[in-house]
Structure 1
Amino acid sequence: MTSDRRAAPAHTTGGKLSEELFERARLVFPGGITRATVERDPFPVFADFGEGAYLTDVDGRRFLDLNNNFTTLIHGHGFSPVVEATAAALRRGTCFANPMKHEIELAELLVDRIPAVEKIRFVTSGTDAIMFAIKAARAATGRTAVARLAGAYHGAYDWAEAGQTTAAGMPVSSFTGTPSYVLDDVIVIDFNNVADLKLKVEENAHRLAALLIDPMPSRAGLMQPLPEFLETANLLAKKHGVVLIADEVLNLRQGFHGASHRYGLEPDLITMGKIIGGGFPIGAVGGRAEIMNLFASHNGVAGLPQGGTFAANPVSMMAGKVAMEALTRATFERLEELGDRVRGGLASRIAHHDAAFFVTGAASLFRIHVSSTASSSSQHEHAVSDDAKTLSRLHRHFAAHGIILPRGAAASLSTPMSEADADQIISVFDDFLASDSNKAGEAA
């Protein structure tokens, strides 16, 4: 898996037109961007168009895209069946106050495919899905507190956001001005720490409405869940009448039936997003009919009101239906094989160079970590803290070789990617490990 470095494409970290657009953007957007997740080095790469697994920026540079709009684009850019279906949908109207059959068809597909989903409601984002899942848990239990995993990301709802960072095991506010009572109602649990899970759920069962679990939290490291940890979560939730919520907004892409089914988690509710919209804005909460029926109206009054001007809009519904139909069992199997090829190849290069890195992930997801132990065995319980300077150099190295690797080195594959694309990822990483600049950086 060696590469001819002299033949590498001469991409730079930023292009002239991107820089000019960023200067314009700074005049109208705080910080020059409209979402905090946009990466700047020192300014964003502005996209011109995408095609398949590749993105071309406004300066004409072509990149293999391992971001895929934060794992959303499982079929890559410009997936023809979605383009054709949404073009037809747009000609019939962009949105209505009335329902359309498209939402029923997408709902039927998801209910049929995901074992834990008996009924479903569509919203407009993953954050909305988490918010309404927590509200449903509170309505179902009459309790208010939420237990969640340290380091996991669950969107911008206050009670889901608190606890993404911690201090001495306690949740820390993610932004200035968070009311103290929000932190009082959030309990943080270490991922894969069975003893911590038991202790905190048992101590707080009387006030716990929800146990919120991402089966493989991306921002916390894409670590494999321990079967005992998830089985304990199943048992404790049932024992204490706590609503178990699986956040699969990102990880639904781990298999035909989703991540909970893959790892043995038995949720009462599942939140979904990203891939189920075919590249358009979407979110969904689904689960046991007993809980989901709280959203229903009785005598004109909803037990748990859930609206949204663009919820279940026909374009997202049509795009999602077409995209999900194309995700057959065979498609997921091929993505998993491609993911295994990348993860295995990266691990082999790390071993070859005896480098202080390790790789995590599953299915079509992978993440590269910087670690003095070069092993994930000791990283089960806590969120990983990688060396930011090394990851920045890795990000820039990949960009210079025509690959978009997110700065945190958490990446996703897409269906149009080939084995040659996978081998290119491995080759560029091998080049990084072998480079004199990287060795000097490690020594420093």
Structure 2
Amino acid sequence: MTLADEVFERAARVIPGGNTRSTLFVTPHPPYAAVGDGATVVDTAGHRTIDCNNNYTALIHGHADPEILAVTAEAAVKGTAFGLPTTYEVDLAELLVARTGLQQWRFCNSGTEAVMMLIRGARAHTGRDLVVRFEGSYHGTYDGVVPVDAPGVPRSVAEASIVLPQNDVSALEGAMSRYGDRVAVVLLDLMPNRAGLTPVSTEFASAAARLATDFGALLAIDEVISFRLGVGGLHQTYGVVPDLVSLGKIIGGGYPVGAVGGRAEVLAAFSPLGDGPVSWGGTFSANPITMAAGLSAMSRYGEADVAALNARGDDLRMLLVDAGIRVNGRGSLLRLMVDDPTSTWWQLYEAGVLAGTNGLLALSTVMTDEDVDLVARRVVATLGRHTS
């Protein structure tokens, strides 16, 4: 029995399936991380990998970033959580306003919670119930955005969503013509990971914005994953102006985070200053440690940094494509299109590359040219023999 097997046996006795996050599971069971340092992860058995998972895109500066560790230590000695707001959340909100042009922001603890808050706010603002969303897009684990036939989801919750094919303008036009006066929000991921990181067309994004406006609904863009691709998010490259945006992952600097930004008129639904009907708390929302870490991470991921990391991702993608490997994505996000994700994950892991369990690769700023070249060689050596 290996050390990983021993850890798994312990874990399975006290945690269903041996770990808390479904997305991390690979049969027979995943290894357990011990140490992360920059662009590498070492597991409990001592196996070292180049981390192209980066906690599913969240660690934009890799592991144990010295500046983030310093600012969070400084914040922690002043108090790890308060029953009062802090200036840290003001600082991070101001940064996000400057980057995105969206007028106001509100923080929570995960991307899932951000989508929950976004939908609640949209419904409160419009006085409507229906959510239009699209096949293959993952918006977290909230009942209202998982597949309508998912176990444990009440039929009444499923009936509050209209799920349409991605990139099908005609289907969207038909649904809005029929239900548009009941739609609170059109929720769109411009490059959904679960759908293979295939970007939506400019035509489709523009149609979603137009139809939402025409029928008095809100347009919401889920940028929890894709925000890293542009200084103000992927949506800016499409030329659409959303009413609401959900964020998470990189804006927390490695700590739990979610955020909703948008027009002040819409975010007023959460304001206790006026007639805002939505009360939304959260004991650790806008936690000072997370806010300090996020401010540090985002302050060092400006326009030039975004462009450089995207270029490195495009270079890696080209190396893989030239080797005959099918790969989707854009910039620093890549998706290996493989027939057997579990087998591929293990082969890459044994070769020293930590990917997502679905073939996702997400680069970090601490990766060097040598790291990227080594990743390319290891992926090609692993997958090239399976490519015709």
The answer to whether residue 149 in structure 2 is matched with residue 173 in structure 1 is yes
Quote the residue 2:331 is aligned against: 363
Quote the residue 1:279 is aligned against: 254
The answer to whether residue 363 in structure 2 is matched with residue 413 in structure 1 is yes
Quote the residue 2:52 is aligned against: 66
Quote the residue 1:254 is aligned against: 229
Once residues 400 and 56 of structure 1 are traced to their aligned partners in structure 2, the CA distance between those partners, rounded to angstroms, is: 12
Q: 1:360 is matched by which residue type in structure 2?
A: N
Quote the residue 2:139 is aligned against: 154
Quote the residue 2:241 is aligned against: 266
The answer to whether residue 367 in structure 2 is matched with residue 427 in structure 1 is no
Q: The residue matched to 1:294 in structure 2 has which SS?
A: helix
Quote the residue 1:140 is aligned against: 125
Quote the residue 1:102 is aligned against: 88
User: What is the deviation of 1:185?
Assistant: 1.6
Question: What do the CA deviations read for 1:262-293 (whole angstroms, capped 9, x no partner)?
Answer: 22232100001110000001111110000001
Once residues 323 and 298 of structure 1 are traced to their aligned partners in structure 2, the CA distance between those partners, rounded to angstroms, is: 31
Q: Is the 8 A contact 1:125 1:283 kept in 2?
A: yes
For residue 297 of structure 2, the aligned residue among 323, 342, 354 is: 323
Once residues 410 and 180 of structure 1 are traced to their aligned partners in structure 2, the CA distance between those partners, rounded to angstroms, is: 32
Once residues 61 and 433 of structure 1 are traced to their aligned partners in structure 2, the CA distance between those partners, rounded to angstroms, is: 20
Once residues 366 and 124 of structure 1 are traced to their aligned partners in structure 2, the CA distance between those partners, rounded to angstroms, is: 26
Q: The residue matched to 1:308 in structure 2 has which SS?
A: coil
Q: 2:372 is matched by which residue type in structure 1?
A: A
Once residues 237 and 2 of structure 2 are traced to their aligned partners in structure 1, the CA distance between those partners, rounded to angstroms, is: 45
Q: 1:319 to 1:433 in 2, by over 3 A?
A: closer
The answer to whether residue 112 in structure 2 is matched with residue 127 in structure 1 is yes
Once residues 101 and 205 of structure 1 are traced to their aligned partners in structure 2, the CA distance between those partners, rounded to angstroms, is: 41
Once residues 276 and 10 of structure 2 are traced to their aligned partners in structure 1, the CA distance between those partners, rounded to angstroms, is: 46
User: What is the deviation of 1:29?
Assistant: 0.7
For residue 217 of structure 1, the aligned residue among 192, 205, 212 is: 192
Once residues 56 and 97 of structure 1 are traced to their aligned partners in structure 2, the CA distance between those partners, rounded to angstroms, is: 38
User: What is the deviation of 1:393?
Assistant: 2.8
| Structure 1 gap ranges (5+) | 1-14, 163-171, 351-356, 371-386
The answer to whether residue 260 in structure 2 is matched with residue 310 in structure 1 is no
Q: Is the 8 A contact 1:147 1:186 kept in 2?
A: yes
Once residues 434 and 414 of structure 1 are traced to their aligned partners in structure 2, the CA distance between those partners, rounded to angstroms, is: 24
Paired positions, count: 388
User: What is the deviation of 1:302?
Assistant: 4.4
Structure 1 moving runs of 4+ over 3 Å: none
Q: The residue matched to 1:241 in structure 2 has which SS?
A: coil
Q: Is the 8 A contact 2:57 2:249 kept in 1?
A: yes
Question: What do the CA deviations read for 1:399-429 (whole angstroms, capped 9, x no partner)?
Answer: 1211112221111000011122222222123
Rg larger for: 1
Q: 1:38 to 1:423 in 2, by over 3 A?
A: same
For residue 210 of structure 2, the aligned residue among 230, 235, 240 is: 235
Percent of aligned positions that are identical = 40
Q: The residue matched to 2:309 in structure 1 has which SS?
A: helix
Q: Is the 8 A contact 1:225 1:263 kept in 2?
A: no
Once residues 92 and 434 of structure 1 are traced to their aligned partners in structure 2, the CA distance between those partners, rounded to angstroms, is: 52
For residue 173 of structure 2, the aligned residue among 190, 198, 221 is: 198
Quote the residue 1:20 is aligned against: 6
Question: What do the CA deviations read for 1:322-369 (whole angstroms, capped 9, x no partner)?
Answer: 00001021111110111111111111001xxxxxx5211112100011
- What's the RMSD between the two structures over aligned residues? 1.5
Q: The residue matched to 1:202 in structure 2 has which SS?
A: helix
The answer to whether residue 25 in structure 2 is matched with residue 57 in structure 1 is no
Q: Is the 8 A contact 2:36 2:63 kept in 1?
A: yes
Once residues 108 and 36 of structure 1 are traced to their aligned partners in structure 2, the CA distance between those partners, rounded to angstroms, is: 34
TM-score, reference length from structure 2: 0.96
User: What is the deviation of 1:180?
Assistant: 1.1
Once residues 289 and 400 of structure 1 are traced to their aligned partners in structure 2, the CA distance between those partners, rounded to angstroms, is: 49
User: What is the deviation of 1:392?
Assistant: 2.6
Q: 1:405 is matched by which residue type in structure 2?
A: A
Q: 1:233 to 1:434 in 2, by over 3 A?
A: closer
Once residues 91 and 24 of structure 1 are traced to their aligned partners in structure 2, the CA distance between those partners, rounded to angstroms, is: 34
User: What is the deviation of 1:434?
Assistant: 4.3
Q: 1:308 is matched by which residue type in structure 2?
A: G
Q: 2:125 is matched by which residue type in structure 1?
A: A
Once residues 384 and 277 of structure 2 are traced to their aligned partners in structure 1, the CA distance between those partners, rounded to angstroms, is: 61
User: What is the deviation of 1:71?
Assistant: 0.6
Q: 1:359 is matched by which residue type in structure 2?
A: V
Once residues 11 and 384 of structure 2 are traced to their aligned partners in structure 1, the CA distance between those partners, rounded to angstroms, is: 38
